Every structure is written in C-alpha cells, then in structure tokens.
Amino acid sequence: MNNTTSHGPASTLRERFVEDMNLHRLSRATQHNYLRDMTRFANWLGRPPDLATDEDLRRYQIEQRETGLGAPAMNMAVSALRFFYTRTLDRQDLTRKLHRVKHPRALPTVLSREEVTRMLDATTSIKHQAILSVAYGAGLRASEVTKLKVRDVDSERMLLRVECGKGGRHRNAMLANDLLLLLREWWKVGRQQGVMHPDGWLFPGQHYLKPICYRQVHRIAAEAAHAAGITKRVGPHTLRHSFATHLLEDGVDVRIIQALLGHAKLETTALYTRVATRTVKSVISPLDRLGMFATAQAASDG
C-alpha cells in the first residue's frame, strides 16, 4: 500500500487510510490489524488495492477460507476491506460481495469472587493492584485503563470519566468507595516516587509523561493470576467479564450494565446471562413448583 492515488499526488493510499482511521477514532490495535490485513490483501492482489474489482474481493475471501483461516480472522479482514473501500476510496459498490462469516461466539472466561480476591492480593505493587482493581471495579477495557488521567477520577460524583472508549464514545464508569481509597493510596505512593502529577496519567509507563502500555497491563494480569494459582487463561478483559457477570448475579438490570460497560448493543451485554451461574441457580424450575417428586419422595421416606 505504498502507491500514490489520484486523490492527491503527495498522499499515498496508506497515508489516506491511516488518516481516515484516525478521523473515525479507531483504536491503535484496530488500526494495526486493519493495516496488516490490507497489506496482506495488496500482496495477494499483486497490484495497488485501488485497482481491485469486486470479483477480486470475492476470490480473496474464497482463497482465505480454503487456506483454513479462522472465522474471526476472516471477519477482521472483511472489516478492514470494507473500511478501506467505503471510507478511503468511497467505493462502496466494491464491497457488495464481502460477507462476514457466522460462527458461534465463545462464552467469556469469568472468575469467581474468591478468585478475583486472590488475584488482586497476588499483585506485586500497589500500582499493579490499582490497575487490576480499576479493570474489575469499574469494568473497563485494558485500553481504557491505560488512557485514564488523574483528573478523570471524579470523587465528588463517584465516577470515572472514560474518554474515547471503543468507537470513540465517552461515558461515565462507576467509582466504588474501596476503589477510591486504593487510588488515593496509589496517588500518595506515586507522588513520593515522582511519577504522579495532577494533570498526568493515572498509571504512567516507564516514563511519567507516557501512559502504561496495553501489553504491560496484560502481563500484570497474567502474572497476578498465575501467582494466585488460577489455572484459567486470564487477562484484564477477564476482570471486565467478571465485573459484568457479578453485577448480573446481584440483580442489576442488564441495561444498566450495558451503559456501565459502554456496549453499543444490548445483545452484547446479554451474553453474560449465559455465564451468570448464581442467577441460574436462583431461578425455580416450573417442574419444582409442581411438587410431584418431592411429595412422592416424602411419602416413601415416611
């Protein structure tokens, strides 16, 4: 994707593509994936992607499937191609033969409350404990945790301001009392270390002017889970899944959970009803209400 397009002699397709992704506030991870998929397609095509036809896109999908590419990877490629041809080239007509692959969505990994406690206790520093506590206590994505600034902690309204979440959406997340106490303790420690500033990042990286990176948050979560003796595959998103599931089990309305998580669609949040075991156990089966077998068992015991 290094060719020059007719939209501007000094602007390459890649540059325009990146500009459009920034304009639509796509996350850094999504931009990386889209660039990777478009580069892969351009290499397969053997000529500049702005010269592709709808039949080229169709054949590419077929060949990708025949190579055994999984459904999630194929759907990511479709999203990248659609964005490029619809947004960057304004050629929506080329995307009519692009189709997403249906596949069953795997149930999220959820920790028990006892496992979450063990995991938070197994962290090696107050900074790491605060990072994971924010992920669980407010249900934030790892990328949202990394972008928090000190001023985003609103102790008066007991909220965390999440700016530019997924899809560029802003929202308020809940700020628990215990989480506020922990963050205040981290503020004191961070000030003593010279890395915390009123206008700075809540979780600075190796340099205080830069936030902690996404991969580092994943490493912190994985190491804490391992130290806690948890054998499940755990990342920071596992804590977000656990946050939503535990709220649902406590009887919080699914639409409120949707707002707290920043989900655009209710069906995304409704997925947690399939893993909320306490909710399932609290439901009385209509068969139990008949009382047929319990009455028969009582008679036989008598």
Average pLDDT, the chain: 87
Is residue 111 predicted with pLDDT exceeding 60?
yes
- Residue 122 to residue 136: CA distance in whole angstroms: 15
CB neighbours of 115 closer than 8 A, spacing ≥ 6?
A: 228, 230, 232
Give mean pLDDT, residues 94-101.
Answer: 88
Shared-domain flag, residues 207 and 157:
yes
Catalytic residue numbers, as ranges: 141, 166, 237, 240, 263, 272
Query: What mean pLDDT do residues 186-214 have?
Result: 94
Cβ proximity of 143 and 27 under 8 Å: yes
- Whether residue 201 is found in the same domain as residue 72: no
- Kindly report the backbone phi and psi dihedral angles of residue 206, in degrees, each rounded to the nearest multiple of 5, phi listed first: -65, -30
256 and 185 together in one domain: yes
* Count of domains for the chain: 2
266 and 195 in one domain? yes
> pLDDT tens, 272-289?
777 777 666 666 667 667
Domain, as residue range, for 269: 113-281
